[in-house]
Amino acid sequence: MARTVLQQADIARALTRISHEILESNRGADELVLLGIPTRGAVLAERIGAEIGRIEPSAASAADLVGSLDITMYRDDLAKHPTRTPAPTQVPRRGIDGATVVLVDDVLYSGRTIRAALDALNDLGRPRAVRLAVLVDRGHRELPIRADFVGKNLPTSRDERINVHLTEIDGAEEVTIEG
């Protein structure tokens, strides 16, 4: 049975807070690029980009600020999950060289997805800095990776599963724990 831990308003508040923290950390939106990890990370990156544009009207347009980073071929579990379909990587027009890149994902768990994202990013260029924003950090890291911007820390057992549902993909807006 699934237990709801974040509802639509909670998600919106978390993304607003993350947006403010990103702007504060970067001292504005100059040289900032948000790259969402498909599928839900890309949606969250779009939302954060829109919020940054609302907070700081001088920020670059969404086309210059937000993109997506497909990590499928960089994963270390392809042998276990060979049915993944790669999604296109879309980098903002300005590219990533010299930029502060914020990787955006829905759930941070073992850290392996982010390791794959760092490898994929390496093939695109050389950012000045790389940061990580996640909606949920559930713990259980297997690699020395931590998020710079976290919507909600949800300590879980390894037997539990976090499900992020976003309106654009799932028609619902919530985060649940199963297990």
Q: Per-residue pLDDT tens for 60-110?
A: 777 789 999 999 999 887 777 666 678 889 999 889 999 999 999 999 999
Q: Per-residue pLDDT tens for 116-139?
A: 999 999 999 999 999 999 999 999
Report the distance separating Cα 134 and Cα 36, nearest Å. 10
| H or E segment to which residue 21 belongs | helix 8-26
Q: Which domains does the chain have, with CATH numbers?
A: 2-76+85-178 (3.40.50.2020)
Confidence (pLDDT) at 134: 98
Report the distance separating Cα 32 and Cα 98, nearest Å. 9
Confidence (pLDDT) at 57: 84
- At position 177, the amino acid (one-letter code) is I
Q: Per-residue pLDDT tens for 139-175?
A: 999 999 999 999 999 999 999 999 999 999 999 999 9
